A and B are shown apart, each in its own frame.
Chain A
Amino acid sequence: MSVMSMIEVKNLVKQYRGAKAPSVAGVSFSVEKGEFFAFLGPNGAGKTTTISILTTTLAKTSGEVRIAGFDAEKEARRVREHIGIIFQNPSLDPQLTAEQNIRFHACLYGMCGYRPTFGLMPAFYRQRVLALAEIVGIQEALFKPIKKLSGGMQRKLEIIRSLIHTPDVLFLDEPTQGLDAISRRSLWEYINDTRKHYGTTVFLTTHYIDEAENVDKVCVINHGKIAACSSPAEMKRSLLRQELILDAADRSALTDELSSLGLPFTVNGRVAVPYQDSAQEVIARLRTKLTTLKIHEPSLEDAYVEFLNRHGRDAA
């Protein structure tokens, strides 16, 4: 049985008016239903341009984009019915209260008819708003004007707004920018719960690479082209090896022994010994008494930085 693609992009090209080169130059990828997908890349690589085309707010130059089975250009309205988005820049009305911003959004998405006050809105709307506000911790700020809220609070509000209509595909364009560590964590817990409960497909762009550590698939875009696309584990495996971090009271004895065993190592404050399959095999061969023994698992961020170091910004 084939799994339905919620996002399908084929040979997507976008060249802005007056630009000499395309910002997105023939990008292709797909995201399956319920998948958690991270779209990474350095500043100016084409991430926001791609997400804008996918969310129908920007016209493409050529190529094909289908979201939830609908053509993003010819069936833009159907696409919009299935998506939620947190934009890179805040898009709240600063004159309205937090709740009024959510109400405006909920009414445009057809969740309920407009009512002039929160109290007059349907019970399911009120319950959902209060529940979401509690999850991201902005209950106290719900009825305050946006201009009186901190940047972090505004971001949390945008998160509530993007989730209020339970979209099938959630686009997150650097969603945790400006959030403190606790808010980031609670946000990700909620997004993961939403994903599991409703099978929401999540498309993420972020500069916090650790946020993409648990995604199903990572694509790296560089200079408008897909430079790599795989699972985080595959990406780490292909770029970095696991290492044993060792040290001994007699460090020279340790390095002499490693040399005699033919094991590669580096010394940079401590002794790092890369290994392929089993750390146990390396440790079992050592006789020098160790004072430090750690296994270093490379992070996705390590792999991402290594990737950009190897390929530079011209990788393609």
Chain B
Amino acid sequence: MSELVFQRKKSRIFREVNTVITVLAREITLFFKSPGTAVMSLAMPLMLMGAIGGNLMQNMAGGLGFEFGDFMLVGMLVSMLFMVTTMGMTSLVDDHEIDFNQEMLVSPVSRYSLVVGKILGAGFTAIISMTGTLLVGLLMGVTLPLGKLLLILALSPLMCLSGGALAMIIIGLVKSKRTANLAVMLITMPQMFLSGAIIPINNTSGALLALNRLMPMTYCLDLTRAVLYAGSPEYDRVVMFNPTVNFAAITVLTVVCLIIGTFFFAQSEKNR
């Protein structure tokens, strides 16, 4: 008993970090126990990068003043992270259906730790899909320098966190799988087209521009492109904001979305 009591008194920070790791580890375990998820996470890049990206490269590459393949590859990488993380967040609905959310929510840990663990778990699958996208890009002849690729990989957990936090605002409230699947489309599709993932948005204006500025993916894309185009003559044509601005915007939007999404999630489980 005394040993257990001693263990219980470990610091709160340790407990929260441990919670994030535990929830993340569960998601990774589930990923490897579900061959279907693994296959789909690798099939997604074939569809997005191979089919859609390939078609865009063949039809839209002319007259842009920069290499469309590189531009589109970054867009596909970030879109993939956002889309697969958002899809992964629908596992909250699965957990609700099997009452596992109750088990998590009755534990003496921060709800933020649970949600961050969940997002990073979904992000794990997203990073697998991102790797698949890079491989498909390689087959299509679109590659990234190794140093820049590693930098982008280092930024990917932040981007998953950002995409997952935004997804939480809607998915945290949803209790049915069908609604959750529709929510994924609602969250990811507008971002993919409005934030400039696959088509340039230099001439976007009005309400669409306002939406663009509110989307975390806009800043994630711009930051990733800033990494890729750093030192190149195309930098000013492709990158919209200073990387510091991007980083700050991502941080602020992620924190705001995380607070709102976690609040909605906890309240929707508790206030019935």
In the complex, the answer to whether B109 meets A198 with C-beta atoms within 8 Å is no
In the complex, the answer to whether B7 meets A112 with C-beta atoms within 8 Å is yes
In the complex, the answer to whether A89 meets B99 with C-beta atoms within 8 Å is yes
In the complex, the answer to whether A58 meets B272 with C-beta atoms within 8 Å is yes
Q: What are the residues of chain B within 8 A of A55 when measuring CB–CB?
A: 106
User: Please, how many angstroms separate the alpha-carbon atoms of A75 and B254 in the complex?
Assistant: 27
Q: What are the residues of chain A within 8 A of B146 when measuring CB–CB?
A: none
Known: A96-B29, A107-B22. A80 touches B108 (CB 8 A): yes
Chain B: minimal CB distance from A15 (Å): 10
User: Please, how many angstroms separate the alpha-carbon atoms of A85 and B33 in the complex?
Assistant: 28
Chain A binding site: helix, strand, loop or mixed by DSSP? Answer: loop
Number of A-B contacts (CB under 8 A): 101
User: Please, how many angstroms separate the alpha-carbon atoms of A114 and B25 in the complex?
Assistant: 8
Q: What are the residues of chain B within 8 A of A59 when measuring CB–CB?
A: 270-271
Known: A59-B270, A81-B108, A124-B3. A104 touches B33 (CB 8 A): no
* Residue tally, chain A, CB below 8 Å to B: 38
User: Please, how many angstroms separate the alpha-carbon atoms of A91 and B94 in the complex?
Assistant: 12
Which of A89, A91, A111: most chain B Cβ within 10 A? Answer: A91
User: Please, how many angstroms separate the alpha-carbon atoms of A172 and B117 in the complex?
Assistant: 28
Residue of B with least CB distance to A16: B272
Contact with B along A72-94 (1 / 0, CB 8 A): 00000110110101010111111
Q: What are the residues of chain B within 8 A of A17 when measuring CB–CB?
A: 271-272
Q: What are the residues of chain A within 8 A of B98 when measuring CB–CB?
A: 90-94
In the complex, the answer to whether B22 meets A114 with C-beta atoms within 8 Å is yes
Known: A89-B99, A90-B99, A96-B29. A109 touches B269 (CB 8 A): no
Chain B binding site: helix, strand, loop or mixed by DSSP? Answer: helix
Q: What are the residues of chain A within 8 A of B26 when measuring CB–CB?
A: 93, 96, 100, 104
* Residue tally, chain B, CB below 8 Å to A: 35
A151 at the interface (CB under 8 A from B): no
In the complex, the answer to whether B4 meets A110 with C-beta atoms within 8 Å is no
In the complex, the answer to whether B99 meets A57 with C-beta atoms within 8 Å is no
Residue of A with least CB distance to B110: A77
Contact of B102 among A78, A91, A100 (CB under 8 A): A91
User: Please, how many angstroms separate the alpha-carbon atoms of A108 and B99 in the complex?
Assistant: 16
Contact of A105 among B15, B25, B107 (CB under 8 A): B107
B21 at the interface (CB under 8 A from A): yes
User: Please, how many angstroms separate the alpha-carbon atoms of A80 and B103 in the complex?
Assistant: 11
In the complex, the answer to whether A108 meets B272 with C-beta atoms within 8 Å is no
User: Please, how many angstroms separate the alpha-carbon atoms of A110 and B15 in the complex?
Assistant: 6
Residue of B with least CB distance to A125: B7
B241 at the interface (CB under 8 A from A): no
In the complex, the answer to whether A166 meets B102 with C-beta atoms within 8 Å is no
In the complex, the answer to whether B106 meets A80 with C-beta atoms within 8 Å is yes
A63 at the interface (CB under 8 A from B): no
Q: What are the residues of chain B within 8 A of A312 when measuring CB–CB?
A: none
A56 at the interface (CB under 8 A from B): yes
User: Please, how many angstroms separate the alpha-carbon atoms of A78 and B12 in the complex?
Assistant: 12
In the complex, the answer to whether A113 meets B106 with C-beta atoms within 8 Å is no
User: Please, how many angstroms separate the alpha-carbon atoms of A91 and B269 in the complex?
Assistant: 14
In the complex, the answer to whether B29 meets A100 with C-beta atoms within 8 Å is yes
User: Please, how many angstroms separate the alpha-carbon atoms of A122 and B271 in the complex?
Assistant: 38
Chain A: minimal CB distance from B76 (Å): 30
Q: What are the residues of chain B within 8 A of A100 when measuring CB–CB?
A: 26, 29
Q: A57-B106, A96-B29, A108-B109 are in contact. List 17 more A-B contacts (CB 8 A).
A: A16-B272, A17-B271, A56-B270, A77-B110, A90-B98, A91-B100, A95-B29, A96-B30, A107-B19, A108-B104, A110-B8, A110-B14, A110-B15, A110-B108, A114-B21, A124-B4, A198-B1
The 4 A-B residue pairs whose C-beta atoms are closest, nearest first, are A80-B108, A108-B107, A91-B99, A107-B22
Instruction: Give A residues with C-beta under 8 Å from B.
Output: 16-17, 55-59, 77-78, 80-81, 83, 85, 87, 89-96, 100, 104-105, 107-114, 116, 124, 165-166, 198
